[in-house]
């Protein structure tokens, strides 16, 4: 992965789905300044603002960008909305004025349009997509495969959700990679993006999933053009097994089941009666009735803080000693993505030998995974 500049185009890493502190369960630390600082440390060259339908958040970004240097980070106005069927959609614009117009358009269809970061609208997916296209933006299903509030949790085909309106991209979500969508005929030709859906600026959240785009113009419009034209060079993200909905499992005790076992139990856990949620792995197999199509490479990556947590035997990625060691790597080598993908192992070892060995194991695929499901994240260890 490279974010270097060529003569005509450059490759940049982008996390286009984030949230502000105005969204439910979001950190109060999600401010424009904190997000830009986190992006630089992560190695992101473009980020979505998230929640740009919210007037106060939109104003904060506009004021920040008028007064401060964005440190080379391209800021793309973005938002997530929920439709009347509880499907979530990611919206991208090349300017805040587009979201000002959408706020007026959506105000009659959502009473919380100005009070929460991720509003619910009394509109269909088709109506939302048409409004976004009319305003000059891009739209696609957010975390499309997850068993809650996603397109494929409610629909078997894109047209069932969006009608005659096309989608401009599809966001894979934390429990899927490109292979999960490769044989779904509905998605042939649809650009696939990875993004974090982060609710906090912590380095194990922001940028844990991102997409590498080839852009000609380092502006929000340039980013949108690259997404719409499918100039996807690479997706980066967690191993799908790390996602909390990867496998079919009980949403109460997290016991995992095969698809046939879940059907035999009528989707109720025989142990505690909890609801069994169909995992992304099984759902994608149901939808994959076509021939697999080639997709850009997918780089499986574990956040550096979580690697250091494992190496140091800490209970949390936000432990003080994890933070101190993380800072040493960033101060020495510039950003996290570079540490994880480019810096020679022998150079990493000058900072911490155990961490260097773990990063080498990640690069070589020596990772053991215990899949997540039912709402609990999966785990990993190094071989």
Please indicate, yes or no, whether residues 137 and 49 belong to a single structural domain of this protein.
yes
Residues 6+ away with beta carbon under 8 Å from 307: 355, 358, 359, 362
Q: What does the pLDDT read at residue 3?
A: 40
Domain presence at residue 258: no
Residue 74's beta-bridge partner residues? Answer: 46
Domain presence at residue 80: yes
Residue 311 has pLDDT above 90, yes or no: yes
Domain presence at residue 279: no
**Lowest mean pLDDT across 6-15, 172-181, 192-201:** 6-15
Please indicate, yes or no, whether residues 360 and 227 belong to a single structural domain of this protein.
no
Q: What does the pLDDT read at residue 127?
A: 98
Q: What does the pLDDT read at residue 7?
A: 41
Picking from 240, 256, 276, the residue at the C-terminal end of a domain is: 240
Q: What does the pLDDT read at residue 4?
A: 38
**DSSP 3-state assignment of 68?**
coil
Tokens (6 digits) for 335:
């950003």
Q: What does the pLDDT read at residue 1?
A: 43
* Beta strands, E only, 216-294: 232-237, 249-250, 276-277
Q: What does the pLDDT read at residue 5?
A: 34
Domain presence at residue 277: no
Give this prediction's pTM. 0.94
Domain presence at residue 295: no
Domain presence at residue 5: no
In the block, tokens 């009528």 appear at 266
Picking from 217, 240, 263, the residue at the C-terminal end of a domain is: 240
Please indicate, yes or no, whether residues 126 and 23 belong to a single structural domain of this protein.
yes
Please indicate, yes or no, whether residues 315 and 233 belong to a single structural domain of this protein.
no
Burial code (b: 16+ CB inside 10 Å, e: under 16) for 158-181 equals beebbeebebbbbbbbbbbbbebb
Residue 185: domain span = 10-240
90 phi and psi angles, rounded to 5 deg: -100, 130
Please indicate, yes or no, whether residues 18 and 91 belong to a single structural domain of this protein.
yes
pLDDT one-digit tens code per residue, 180-230:
999 999 999 999 999 999 999 999 999 999 999 999 999 999 999 999 999
Q: Are 3 and 11 in contact (CB under 8 A)?
A: yes
Burial code (b: 16+ CB inside 10 Å, e: under 16) for 107-125 equals eebbeebeebbbbbbebbb
Cα separation, 27 vs 18, in Å, equals 12
Tokens (6 digits) for 197:
């859906």
Domain presence at residue 290: no
pLDDT one-digit tens code per residue, 72-81:
999 999 999 9
Please indicate, yes or no, whether residues 173 and 72 belong to a single structural domain of this protein.
yes
Domain presence at residue 226: yes
Nearest CA to 239 out of 307, 190, 334, 168 is that of 307
Question: Packing angle between helix 304-312 and helix 353-363, nearest 10 degrees?
Answer: 130
In total, how many domains does the chain have?
2
Tokens (6 digits) for 33:
């300044």
Please indicate, yes or no, whether residues 180 and 318 belong to a single structural domain of this protein.
no
Cα separation, 176 vs 372, in Å, equals 12
Residue 148 has pLDDT above 90, yes or no: no
pLDDT one-digit tens code per residue, 348-381:
999 999 999 999 999 999 999 999 999 999 999 9
Residue 105 sits in a domain of what CATH number?
Answer: 3.20.20.140
Helices marked H in 90-246 — which ranges?
96-106, 125-134, 151-154, 158-162, 220-228
Please indicate, yes or no, whether residues 49 and 139 belong to a single structural domain of this protein.
yes
Please indicate, yes or no, whether residues 219 and 313 belong to a single structural domain of this protein.
no
Residue 6 has pLDDT above 70, yes or no: no
pLDDT one-digit tens code per residue, 89-135:
999 999 999 999 999 999 989 888 888 999 999 999 999 999 999 99
For range 268-285, the mean pLDDT: 97
């Amino acid at each position: 992965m490279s974010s270097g500049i060529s003569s005509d185009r450059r490759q940049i890493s982008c996390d286009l789905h984030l949230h502000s502190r105005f969204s439910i369960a979001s950190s109060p630390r999600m401010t424009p300044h904190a997000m830009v600082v986190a992006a630089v440390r992560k190695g992101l060259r473009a980020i979505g603002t998230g929640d740009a339908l919210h007037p106060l958040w939109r104003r904060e970004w506009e004021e920040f960008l008028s007064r401060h240097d964005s440190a080379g980070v391209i800021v793309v106005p973005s938002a997530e909305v929920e439709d009347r069927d509880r499907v979530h959609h990611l919206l991208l614009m090349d300017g805040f004025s587009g979201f000002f117009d959408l706020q007026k358009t959506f105000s009659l269809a959502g009473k919380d349009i100005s009070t929460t970061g991720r509003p619910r609208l009394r509109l269909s997916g088709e109506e939302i997509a048409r409004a976004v296209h009319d305003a000059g933006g891009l739209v696609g299903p957010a975390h499309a495969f997850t068993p809650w509030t996603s397109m494929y949790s409610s629909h078997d085909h894109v047209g069932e959700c969006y009608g005659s309106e096309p989608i401009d991209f599809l966001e894979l979500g934390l429990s899927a990679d490109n292979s999960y969508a490769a044989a779904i005929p509905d998605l042939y030709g649809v650009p696939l993006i990875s993004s974090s859906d982060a609710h906090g600026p912590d380095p194990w959240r922001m940028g844990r999933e991102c997409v590498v785009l080839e852009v000609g113009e380092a502006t929000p419009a340039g980013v949108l053009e690259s997404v719409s034209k499918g100039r996807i060079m690479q997706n980066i993200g967690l191993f799908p097994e790390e996602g909390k909905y990867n496998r079919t499992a009980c949403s109460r005790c997290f016991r995992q089941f095969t698809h046939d076992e879940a059907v035999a139990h009528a989707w109720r856990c025989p142990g505690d009666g909890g609801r069994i949620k169909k995992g992304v792995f099984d759902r994608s197999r149901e939808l994959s009735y076509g021939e697999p199509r080639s997709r850009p490479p997918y780089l499986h990556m574990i956040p550096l803080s979580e690697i250091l947590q494992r190496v140091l035997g800490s209970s949390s990625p936000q432990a003080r000693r994890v933070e101190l060691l993380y800072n040493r790597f960033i101060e020495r080598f510039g950003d996290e993505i570079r540490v994880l993908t480019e810096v020679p192992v022998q150079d990493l070892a000058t900072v911490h030998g155990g961490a260097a060995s773990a990063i080498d194991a990640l690069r070589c695929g020596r990772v053991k995974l215990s899949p997540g499901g039912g709402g609990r994240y999966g785990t990993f260890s190094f071989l």
